[in-house]
Amino acid sequence: MLQSYRAQLDGEKIIWLDQAPRYAPGSRVIVVVEDQSDILPPPAKTTHYEFTDLVGRMQWTGNAVTAQRDQRDAW
């Protein structure tokens, strides 16, 4: 029977993230270590938006504040 358990290695110590496995004496146990260091980190929060490619391409006529309020109220 194949079962899997999640654990972390802390130095030479195994920290079980699930319930620790129980196995019958004489059974074979295979341990697979999966390196997750190359998994992509969570994306950084964007606090800055880049609009330089839009400079000179947009034209606006009218009252920007009124247009913004109209869009806000539409939601």
Tell me, what DSSP letter sits at residue 63?
-
Q: What is the pTM of this model?
A: 0.33
Least Cα distance to 5 among 35, 33, 40 occurs for 33
| Residues 9/33, Cβ–Cβ less than 8 Å | yes
pLDDT tens-place string over residues 23-32 = 778 887 777 7
pLDDT at 5: 80
Average pLDDT value over all residues in the chain: 79
| Residue scoring higher pLDDT (12 or 71) | 71
pLDDT at 7 over 70: yes
pLDDT tens-place string over residues 35-59 = 777 777 777 776 777 888 888 777 7
Please name the amino acid found at residue 8: Q
CA distance 8 to 19: 13
- Block residue for tokens 């006529």: 61
